[in-house]
Structure formats: C-alpha cells, structure tokens
Amino acid sequence: MSDTPDTTDAAPPGGRASAEVRAADDARADNETRAADDSRAAAAAGASTPQGGEPAPAGLGVLGWLRWGWRQLTSMRTALVLLFLVALGAVPGSILPQRGQAPERVADYFEQHKTLAPWLDRFSLFDVFAAPWFAAIYILLFVSLAGCVIPRAFQHYRAMRSRPPAAPRNLLRLPQSASYETDATPDEALAQARTLLRRRRFRVDAGETPGAGGWVAAEKGYLGETGNLVFHLALLALLFALGIGNAFGYRGSVLVTEGKAFANSLAQYDQFTPGRRFDSGDLAPFSFRLEDFTATYETKGERRGQATDYVAKLRYRETPDAPETRYDLRVNHPLNVGGAKVYLINHGYAPVFTVRDAKGNVAYQDAVPFLPMEQRTYTSEGVVKAPDAEPEQLAFYAILWPTAVSAKDGKQIVSAFPAALRPVVTITAFKGDIGLDSGTPQSVYRLEGIGKTLHPVKGGQKLLEPGQTFTLPDGSGSITFEGVREWASLSVNHDPGRLPALVAAILAVAGVAASLMVRRRRVWVRARAAGDGRTVVDVGGLTLGHPTSEFDDIVTALRGPRDAAGESGPGAPATAGSGGADASATEPKE
C-alpha cells in the first residue's frame, strides 16, 4: 500500500478519524478496485457475447494461464521458496564428499557404504552443484528474482524522479502532526519551511490548494528502498556470476608425491570437471613441484595425535620460461597462479619400493601412494604392481603403520601416532597376470583378479622396516622397502566469476545495511491566514515504520527558538490539530 496520505477534505472539529481507521478504509477501497479491474480484464480476455446477448463463460485461456504462471513465478513468496530450496540442496554438498573436490573420499565412501552410496549417486549427491535438479532450482530462482526485482527497480527510479506528493487538506489527521501560530505571513512561513527542509536534504516541492492556502511538500529516505533493490539486484548478479563460473571455469584434482611435479594439462589431472563452455586451450601453462610436505601433530595431552598444521612447500612457474618461485601452501591459503587457485585438501603416505624379478632385474621402483584406512593414526593401505617382472608378473598388497608398536595382546601391530616415527609395512605377495594388458581400466589402489589370474605366493607375507628386503620363497623375485615419502592431494579451481561474485556479495551486504538503517519520510507544511492577522501553520508527517524524533526536531526548528523557550511573540505556540492538545507532535497510540 502506498504511504501517500488521503487528500479528502478534513473532518469537522471533534470528529477526526484515526489514522488506523482511514488506512483500513483505503485498503478496502484498493481491494474493491483491484477486484473490479480483474473482473473487467477476465471478461475482456476470455468472455465472449453470443448473438443471443447472454455472455459466454469466461476462461483464462492459454495467454491467461501463462500470465498467471508468470505472476506466480515472479512473486516474492516463490523467490523465497526457491532460495530456501537452493540452501537445502546445498546441504548434501557440504556433508557428503564431492567428486570435484575430493574424488578419493568419494571412493572411500563407496567402499564403506556399498548399499547406500549407489542410491545417493543416482540423485547426483556426490556432485550436487552440477546436478540437473540443482541447476533447475538455480535457473528458476534466477528467473524469479529477475522478474520480481527488475520491474521494481524501474518503478523505484520513476518514483525517485517524481515530485513529492501534494499536501493533504487536513494535516492533523496524519500519525505525526502539529499546529502553531506565527506573526509571519503565510508566504514567509512557507519560504522558511522550504529553506529548512532543503537544508535537511529533503526533496521539496510547493503549491497551492484553492480555498486552503499554500503548501510545501518534502520527501526523503529513498535510500532505504534503494538499498533493498541493490540487495536483490546484487543477489541476482551473484547468481549470474556463479553461472559464469560454472560455464567457463574448471575444477581438477591431482595427487602429487614429494619430489614429483605437475604441469597444468588435462593428462596430468586425476579428476577434471570442465564447465559447459570450457575450452582446453584456455588452460594456463603453469607448473609446480612438491618439494616437501610437513604435518605437525600434538604430542602431549588429551589432543595427542591431532593435526595442528599442514605445509606443502612448492616451487612453481607461471610459464615455462618464468623463474621458479617458492610458496608454502596451507589449508585455506591457496596458491594463485595462472588465474587459478590451488588448494591443499588432503595428504597421506607414499612408501618407496624396489621390486626385482626372478632374474634380478628391477621391475618397479617408485613411491606408491597409500590411502588412509583411518584418520586418527593414518594407518594406510596400498598395492604395488610390477607388470614388467619376468617370467611372471608380481603384485603386492601392503599396510603401512606410521608409528608401529605392539598391541596389548602382543600378537598384532598397531600405529600409536599419525606421524611416521617408526614406519613398518606388512607385505602380502601375489604372482600371475595382473590384467593390465587386457585394456580394462584398473584402480591403482586395488588388485584385480585375485584367485583367478592372480594367485598368492605361498609364504609370501613379511613385515618390513625401511631398508629391509623380502625375497619371495619360490625365487620369483624380491621387494625392498626403501622408506616413506608423503603425498598431497591438491585441487585446482579456475572460476572467472569469482571476482564479480565477491563484488556482488559486498553490494548485497551494503544494500541490506542501507535498507535497515534508512526509512522513507514525508513532511508537509500548510500556512493560512488567521482572522486576527496571524498565520496558522499546520505540519504533518509520515514515516515508514515507527515514527522518529526527526519530525519533532523539524517542528521545533520551524517554530523558532523563542517558542521553544516558552516565550510569546512571533512563532508563539497554538493548539494542535486534535483540539485542546499542546503544540508538540502527536503520534497514534499502538
């Protein structure tokens, strides 16, 4: 409802209606007018009059249903529901591991929840923000906000450029009102009001009502509505920026072992998720090398074993010809390189093995990333595959105990601390056909075909410490545990909409602050000559929300300092508009 006051004639003295009753009458009149307009529109759109003169039943028709659907979609209630659905849909993305950020955690989840995980995957809950259902909610929210906010912005712009509404005939009916007499002429009183209100940064207009004298109208506080619109437009820009990022950006993850390097190319990624409009030629030619990874843990007290810091020491190049630069990569402190951000998201151990075949030739020598079996002590498992061994291929399943100690029963080994203080591995050997020559993709963390093409070696189990070698009993080869390195799982994200999204978020916060702190205010002043040669000045005000003390300050300034001190003379007080009340501003009782 508009806050423009009624402009009907004043009620007779002693019979003034309250502001609440008049507001209810205005609302009832508006509803009746809207109902009549809707009836005429429906009759014009769908009703027809046959030759007999009887009107045919009115129907919405295709155009009417489309108009109704558009009104429902662009209503503020629908926008709030869709915004709630977006927030609700993002919950699984923060609870469940996501393929774009941590594919190895998704694999672990499938291993631990063999029944539940496939059902969750059917609803794309491991890739929420790329799911079709999330995109549908996102697009509907974007359209709803655009259809709701953009027309409001144009209406607000026209309202800001329009003249303040003319003064009602009876200002004493308003929620805030005051009346006083002065020795100044009506023109002088109105000129004083214009000067004062302009000084207080009001938009001021003046006019004259036949038979009622001149008036001054002033208005300010549009910044509150402007802030509200800025917030919604910034939210719209934020959604647009996120869409740009998803369309033209990319996300990739890579596991890098200490001493190994990474170049920003598709072949180097373990997992890569491009945007719909992404071009592989847009990849920046940066590279980096993981020199060292250090995890720091608590060594005493109840928090013993809890991590306190992770540091991945990198050397990176912006381009192949650029000089190397050092950077200490930490959690929540990403590396900015080539327009992308490199995040540290996980870590683990990579034992180094040397495998020799039956002829004594080196069939495999490298660090093998192991996956943690549990996070408290980082006991990890992994496999070693040696397809080049002769005459039979060799494979090993191993468990790493970072700080190996005997269990309480003395028969088993456990890890007492997550750091590699006393690393020990248990080895189980296999030989046969690993299956790599078949062309079927295999996981680097699992052995395929055990019991079919790959068979365990009799007596092929051994516990090894760094530097020890296990020679297989049947003479088919040996394996040496050289030591332990660490690996870091890194996420590389390129999002061209990140900066626009940041600007939109800042504008949204500023808009909310403005909408909460600034309220629309209107003030009207009327001056008319009294019978005794003095001038009666009526002042009325409207404030969106609860009235403020600003109106009282304006009335006090108009009446002048002599009247504020209670002295007689020009600007002396008169009665207020409600008969017998003093000249202070009046407010309706709640």
Q: How far apart are the first and last CA of the chain?
A: 19
Does residue 304 share a domain with residue 194? no
Does residue 333 share a domain with residue 255? yes
Measured distance CA(71)–CA(263) in Å, rounded: 52
Query: What share of the chain has pLDDT > 70, as a percent?
Result: 84
Instruction: Summarize pLDDT for 377-401 with one digit per residue, the tens.
Output: 999 999 999 999 999 999 999 999 9
Does the pLDDT at position 41 exceed 80?
no
Give the model's confidence band at 12: pLDDT under 50 very low, under 70 low, under 90 confident, else very high.
Answer: very low
Does residue 94 share a domain with residue 130? yes
Does the pLDDT at position 440 exceed 60?
yes
Does residue 101 share a domain with residue 74? yes
Measured distance CA(551)–CA(533) in Å, rounded: 27
The per-residue pLDDT for 284 is: 92
**Cβ–Cβ under 8 Å, residues 137 and 199:** no
Could you give the number of structural domains in the chain? 4
Residues of the domain holding 405: 354-481
Instruction: Summarize pLDDT for 308-351 with one digit per residue, the tens.
Output: 999 999 999 999 999 999 999 999 899 999 999 999 999 999 99
Closest to 400 (Cα-Cα) out of 448, 463, 307, 472: 463
Instruction: Summarize pLDDT for 245-267 with one digit per residue, the tens.
Output: 888 889 899 999 999 999 999 99
Measured distance CA(49)–CA(51) in Å, rounded: 7
Does residue 151 share a domain with residue 41? yes
Does the pLDDT at position 286 exceed 50?
yes
Does residue 179 share a domain with residue 129? no
Give the model's confidence band at 16: pLDDT under 50 very low, under 70 low, under 90 confident, else very high.
Answer: very low
- Which of 48-52, 294-298, 531-535 reaches the highest mean pLDDT? 294-298
**Cβ–Cβ under 8 Å, residues 288 and 342:** yes
List all residues 6 or more positions away from 89 whose beta carbon is below 8 Å from its beta carbon. 128, 133, 134, 137
The per-residue pLDDT for 507 is: 94
Does residue 195 share a domain with residue 281? no
Does residue 541 share a domain with residue 496? no
Query: What share of the chain has pLDDT > 90, as a percent?
Result: 44
Q: Does residue 236 sit within a domain?
A: no
Q: What is the average per-residue pLDDT within 419-428?
A: 95
- Report CA-CA distances (Å) from 38 to 48, 140, 395, 423, 587: 16, 27, 79, 80, 37
Does residue 476 share a domain with residue 358? yes
Burial of 293 (0-12, 13-18, 19+ CB in 10 A): buried
Instruction: Summarize pLDDT for 172-195 with one digit per residue, the tens.
Output: 999 899 999 998 899 999 999 999
Does residue 422 share a domain with residue 359? yes
Give the model's confidence band at 557: pLDDT under 50 very low, under 70 low, under 90 confident, else very high.
Answer: very high
Does residue 29 share a domain with residue 129? yes
More confident position, 218 or 562: 218
Coil vs helix vs strand at 90 = helix
Q: What is the average per-residue pLDDT within 163-171?
A: 89
More confident position, 472 or 135: 472
The per-residue pLDDT for 58 is: 57
Closest to 345 (Cα-Cα) out of 47, 92, 99: 99
Token pair, residue 201, equals 């940064």
> Final residue of a domain: which of 130, 159, 188?
159
- b/e map of 103-124 (b: 16 or more CB within 10 Å)? bbbbbbbbeeeeeebeeebeeb
List all residues 6 or more positions away from 272 whose beta carbon is below 8 Å from its beta carbon. 250, 251, 252, 253, 266
Phi, psi of 313 (to 5 degrees): -85, 115
If you average pLDDT over every residue of the chain, what do you get? 83
More confident position, 556 or 26: 556
Does the pLDDT at position 280 exceed 90?
no
More confident position, 523 or 544: 523
Coil vs helix vs strand at 335 = strand
Q: What is the average per-residue pLDDT within 523-551?
A: 88
Can you say how many angstroms the Cα of residue 233 is from the centroid of all Cα atoms in its chain?
A: 14
Q: What is the average per-residue pLDDT within 540-569?
A: 75
Give the model's confidence band at 225: pLDDT under 50 very low, under 70 low, under 90 confident, else very high.
Answer: confident
Closest to 366 (Cα-Cα) out of 380, 347, 386: 386
The per-residue pLDDT for 561 is: 61
Q: Does residue 143 sit within a domain?
A: yes
Does residue 119 share a domain with residue 27? yes
**Cβ–Cβ under 8 Å, residues 16 and 172:** yes
List all residues 6 or more positions away from 508 whose beta carbon is below 8 Å from its beta carbon. 230, 231, 234, 235, 238
Sign of CA dihedral 446, 448, 450, 453: negative
